[in-house]
Structure 1
Amino acid sequence: MKRILGGMVVAVALSGSSFAADLGARTYAKAPAMMAPAANWSGWYAGVNAGWVGGANEVSTSGAVSPANTADLPNAAAMAAGATSSSRGSNSFIGGGQFGYNYQFSPLFVAGFEADIQGISRSRRSSSSSVFPGGPGVPPGTGFATNIANTSDPAYLGTFRARLGVTVNPNILLYATGGLAYGETKSDTAIAQSGINATNPNQPPFTITPASGAFSGMRVGYAVGAGGEWMFAPNWSAKLEYLYYDLGSATYSTGSLVSSSFGPTAFPGFGIGAVDTSTKVRFDDHIVRVGVNYHFN
C-alpha cells in the first residue's frame, strides 16, 4: 500500500512539472501609444487676410466722327483714331477680414461657406499715348498727339462663397471656392489731344478742347478660386488663396474733342473738327492673398 501511494505522488509531481514547462515564460504586452488628436475642421471661424490685386481691369476708349463735324473728314477720322486705345490697370495692395463655417462630413471631405470684405489701398491707374498723322495731303509730321488717362477706384470688394475641400492629411485642407462678388466701383477718364503742324515750326500746336467723363455705381458679379489651409495649432490655421472676381463692365460717355483750327495754315479745309468719345471699363481682377483664421470649435 505504501509503495502504491508513493508511486502516485511521484507521478503527480512529474506531471505537474511537465505542465509548468509547457506553459513557458509569462509575457507582458505594452499599452498602446496615445495618438495626437486629428484636426477637427467643423465649426465657425473668423480671421484676417492681406495680399496683391491686379492683372486685369481692362480699359478701352473709342472715338467716332461726330455728326456735328464740319471739317474735312480725313482729319476728323485721324482725331478719332488717336482717341481709340486700350490699357490695363496697375497693381495694388488688398486686405480685409473674413468669417465662415465648415462642416467635416467625413475624414476626407469638408464643405462650408465664407464671406469677406476687402479694402484696396489705392486707385488703379492706366494711361496711353499715341501720335496719328493727319488726313490725305497733309505734310509729313503733321497730325494729332493724344494722351488718355484712366483712374479706376473700387471703394470696397466683398464676396460670399461656397467652399468644398479635401484633407490631404488631417491638418491640411485643399479647397475650391466660388460664389457672389459685389463692390462699389468708380472710373474716370480724361482725353487730351493736340494738333501738330510741321509746315510751320514757329506756330505752336493748335489746341483741341479736352474730353472727360466718369462712372460710379454698385456692381454685382462672381468670384472663383482655390486655396490651401493648414491647421498649425489647436484652433488656429493659416491659408494661401487665389481668387478671380468679375463685376462686369460699364460704358460711359467721355465727351467730345473739338477743334476750330482747321484752315489754310493748319490742315486742308475749313470748319470744326469734332469727335465723340466713350470709355468701356471692365471691373475684374486677380487676387493672391494670405490669411489667418481662429476656429471656435
Structure 2
Amino acid sequence: MLKIGSILAVVSTVTCAHAADLPLKAVTKAPAVASFSWTGCFIGGQLGAAISDDKIRSSGDFSSVGVAAGGQIGCDYQLASPWVVGIEARASWLGLTSDTQGRLTDFATGLTVPSHFTVRNDLLASTTARLGYGFASGWLAYARGGAAWTREKSDIVFALPGRPTVDPRGSRIVSGWTAGAGVEWAFAQHWSANLEYNFYSFGDNAFRLTDANAFATGSLKDRINTVNIGLNYRF
C-alpha cells in the first residue's frame, strides 16, 4: 500500500508540473471600429429635376419642369461633437423652358396687343455654407444657404397692327440666393451619396429685349426648385 501511494504521489507531482509549464493564451479584444469623420474636401456630381416658378407683369404665374445635371466641390470640418460645418461651390446645366401668353402695351400709341413670352434657364450656380449634424454611423443631416446665379434667355413675340411679327430677345445672368436641406450617407471610406432639396430666388428684375425692328421692356420674377441626388469622392 505504501508503494502504490508513492507511485500515485509521483504521478500527481509530474502532472502538476506539466500543467504549470503550459503557456497561458492571452485574451484579445476585438479592435474598436473607428467612427467616420466628415473632415476633409470632396468633389462630385449630381443629377435631378428642376421646376421653375416665374411671373411677368403682363401675365400670371407660369412654370416648367426639366433636368438639372452638374458638379460640385467643397470642404467640411467636423467639430468636437456631431456638428459639421462646410462650404461648397456647384454649377449645373438646366433644361428649363417656360412660356406664357400676355399683353404688351405700345407706349407710343397706348395700344395693347397680345404677346407670347418665353424664358429659358440653362445654367444654375451657387456658393453655399453648410451646417450638418452627424448621426448613426456615417450619416449627416444638413441645411445649406448662400448666393446663387442663373442665366436667363428670354424673348417676346408680338405684332402691332399693320406691322410684321417681331421677336425681341436677350440673355443675361442674374444673381439671387438659395437655401436647402438634405441628408448624406458615407457608404465607404472615400465615398458618400446625398439626397437634397434646394430653393433658388432671383428676385423681380427689369429686362429689355431687342431685335432689329423693335424692343420690349418688362419685369421677370424668377424662382427655381431642385431635387437631386449626388455622389462625392472624399479626400
TM-score range, shorter chain: 0.7 to 0.9
Q: Which amino acid aligns with 2:232?
A: N
Change in Cα spacing, 1:211 to 1:250, as seen in structure 2 (3 Å) is farther
**Larger RCO, structure (CA 8 Å, separation 6 or more):** 1
| CA displacement, residues 155-210 of structure 1 (integer Å, 9 cap, x when unaligned) | 311100000000122311001100111233221122368xxxxxxxxxxxx87765
State the TM-score, normalizing by the size of structure 1: 0.59
1:223 aligned onto 2:153 = no
2:223 to 259, 284, 295: 284
What are the equivalent positions in structure 2 for 1:178-257 lying under 5 Å apart?
A: 178-191=145-158, 210=165, 212-252=167-207
User: 1:277, 1:180 → 2: CA distance?
Assistant: 29
Change in Cα spacing, 1:45 to 1:183, as seen in structure 2 (3 Å) is same
SS in 1 for 2:142: strand
User: 2:38, 2:87 → 1: CA distance?
Assistant: 13
Structure 2: unaligned runs, 5 residues or longer: 1-24, 104-112
Kept in 2: contact 1:60–1:87 (CA 8 A): no
Q: Aligned residues, how many? A: 200
1:124 to 80, 97, 111: 97
Cα offset for 1:277? 7.0
Q: What residue is the counterpart of 1:36 in the other structure?
A: 33
User: 1:293, 1:222 → 2: CA distance?
Assistant: 24
Q: Which amino acid aligns with 2:192?
A: S
1:163 aligned onto 2:130 = yes
Identity %: 28
Structure with the largest fraction of strand? 2
RMSD: 3.0
What are the equivalent positions in structure 2 for 1:51-200 lying under 5 Å apart?
A: 51-61=48-58, 85-121=59-95, 123-128=96-101, 148-191=115-158
SS in 2 for 1:57: strand
User: 1:254, 1:183 → 2: CA distance?
Assistant: 17
Q: Which amino acid aligns with 2:101?
A: S
Cα offset for 1:225? 0.7
Whose radius of gyration is greater, 1 or 2?
A: 1
Kept in 2: contact 1:87–1:126 (CA 8 A): no
State the TM-score, normalizing by the size of structure 2: 0.74
